[in-house]
Structure 1
């Protein structure tokens, strides 16, 4: 019994001592005073608090600008025919495009029908010439224009950076690029100058470059200018970094193109074999293959083969094209 009492007394004294150590030792040892003194020394000054507030405000402005631009891109995701014509660098109206498409469809139908292709084959050729061929031409012109734009854009950004470092305003630097740059870069920067002249803010005018030239590089340029116009900052440094990014993307694109050339050559050979074999058979034994366009069953088979060949070509194109 005495042993149990002593043990309980020892445990109680230990508990009381521990509680006293936790609550009384900091006050007795001066640790609270030292902690208060360290906090007062480390407390930020009003200027530091103001700088931190300004930094948070600028970050919020940048995030707001990016969200606004992204919302605009999502809203305008569906491209109208008039916009596609503009992106191809043509000055046609939508009515003129449809007239040319109708003329091509009529000519293809008449030529195929006169050559003995039959109504079904003539209708297929008319659809391909009136609907597919004009859009293929638009895409071809658009890609060629985008390639020329990407080739000249890094040098144009470097000219703007050097102009800003020399003391020229941003608008004057853009004028220098518009005066000396090759097409289509010259026309796009002239459009920026014209839209800014009629009263649109320069940041918004540069952001609209992406609508006429739907490239990530053009989007980068518009975002950098728009953010700088809204939140300020070192524009020459930002554009210098953008120029470096553009050149790195160009190197990556060329590297990807070199690595995918073998697959593209294989796809070209595989896709061209059926038409070549068909042409050789027609040269050697025309009566044997003529059933494909003189008989109704042969015409159906020919249309089905063309559809399957188109599907195969699109699948191969999807496999060998890389986005980054």
Structure 2
């Protein structure tokens, strides 16, 4: 047999063998035991994944339910109409005196102003009553609100640093109550006093969440409410407290930065409003000092009193409008 005949015979055999090898390579994974093992492994892994996924979903669902219940409970407590007593007002202002002392000082100031209006300025009975009312109820409460506002601003400016102390303490392994005690010892007033109250309540058996909620009553600020909500939710639902408080600290610093920016942008408008509001009574007072007889008809005649009343009403309206324009809520 020559070479051509041999090559003619071997070529179909080689093609057939290659075709059979390709078919075997495609079919072998489906008929081998390795493929069956892979299927079993995939089924077991899939079952475990479904079980673990279901458990994880159940844990997340229970945690979300706990958080929702906590927020609902806090909202219900906040919506309850709680009467703001004079003692609570004085606690918010940081005053140690009793409400009885405040009422005595208010009554004394009202009598003094009424006596000045009657004896020195010889005003009519209606004006004397108004002066006494302002001295007894208006001016003392206005001063109290100013003291409270200043104390709250100071507390708000220091709260972010206190939260950073808690974050660093929790990351280093200290419990939350120890971190709060550090703030009560090392922080300046009024921050130290408020957290000292929380520590004292905790020693009496009050939970930290309830103590912070009582602090919200004495210091009704959104920042304190945020802190109370974060800690209460962490105690009931768990989670990374240091990360949550670090995020809260960043939010508080951003709010403080925005407040300072708003204050800087509205400083010129506030100065203009103060000048416009103080100009008419200032001019009236200076004219009265230079020539009292020129100004006295405004206080002794009926038409003059009417004009003074109308002017004061218009001035009050203008002051309120300017105050509304320069006070920004954010």
Q: Same fold (TM over 0.5)?
A: yes
TM-score by length of 2: 0.82
From 284, 308, 314, give the equivalent of 1:308. 314
How far 1:120 sits from its partner (Å)?
2.0
CA radius of gyration, larger in: 2
Task: Provide the rounded CA distance (Å) in 2 between the counterparts of 1:98 and 1:302.
Answer: 31
The answer to whether the aligner puts 1:150 opposite 2:156 as a matched pair is yes
How far 1:69 sits from its partner (Å)?
1.4
Deviations 1:15-48 (A, max 9, x none): xxxxxxxxxxxxxxxxxxxxxx99x959952221
Q: Aligned to 1:208, what secondary structure does the other structure show?
A: helix
Point out 4+ residue stretches in structure 1 off by more than 4 angstroms.
40-44
From 51, 56, 72, give the equivalent of 1:46. 51
| Superposed counterparts of 1:201-220, under 5 Å | 201-220=207-226
1:145 and 1:184 in contact (8 A); partners too: yes
Task: Provide the rounded CA distance (Å) in 2 between the counterparts of 1:123 and 1:302.
Answer: 17
Deviates more, 1:204-213 or 1:308-317: 308-317
| Superposed counterparts of 1:64-103, under 5 Å | 64-76=69-81, 79-103=84-108
Task: Provide the rounded CA distance (Å) in 2 between the counterparts of 1:307 and 1:81.
Answer: 30
Task: Provide the rounded CA distance (Å) in 2 between the counterparts of 1:219 and 1:87.
Answer: 15
Deviations 1:198-248 (A, max 9, x none): 111111111222111111111111111111111111111111111111111
From 238, 255, 263, give the equivalent of 1:232. 238
Task: Provide the rounded CA distance (Å) in 2 between the counterparts of 1:172 and 1:257.
Answer: 36
How far 1:308 sits from its partner (Å)?
3.5
How far 1:147 sits from its partner (Å)?
1.5
| 1:132 alignment counterpart | 138
Task: Provide the rounded CA distance (Å) in 2 between the counterparts of 1:81 and 1:234.
Answer: 40
Q: Aligned to 1:274, what secondary structure does the other structure show?
A: helix
How far 1:293 sits from its partner (Å)?
2.2
How far 1:93 sits from its partner (Å)?
2.2
| 2:275 alignment counterpart | 269
| 2:20 alignment counterpart | none
Query: How many residues are paired up?
Result: 287
Deviates more, 1:289-298 or 1:199-208: 289-298
From 61, 65, 71, give the equivalent of 1:60. 65
Q: Aligned to 1:238, what secondary structure does the other structure show?
A: helix
Task: Extract unaligned runs of 5+ from structure 1.
Answer: 1-36
Q: Would the alpha carbon gap of residues 185 and 68 (structure 1) be closer, same or farther in structure 2, given more than 3 Å must change?
A: same
1:121 and 1:299 in contact (8 A); partners too: no
| 2:31 alignment counterpart | none
How far 1:80 sits from its partner (Å)?
2.6
Task: Provide the rounded CA distance (Å) in 2 between the counterparts of 1:48 and 1:89.
Answer: 53
1:87 and 1:142 in contact (8 A); partners too: yes
| 1:294 alignment counterpart | 300
The answer to whether the aligner puts 1:108 opposite 2:116 as a matched pair is no
| 1:321 alignment counterpart | 327
Q: Would the alpha carbon gap of residues 265 and 311 (structure 1) be closer, same or farther in structure 2, given more than 3 Å must change?
A: same
Deviations 1:40-84 (A, max 9, x none): 959952221111111111112112212221222221465332211
How far 1:310 sits from its partner (Å)?
2.7
TM-score by length of 1: 0.83
Task: Extract unaligned runs of 5+ from structure 2.
Answer: 1-41
From 251, 258, 264, give the equivalent of 1:258. 264
| 1:159 alignment counterpart | 165
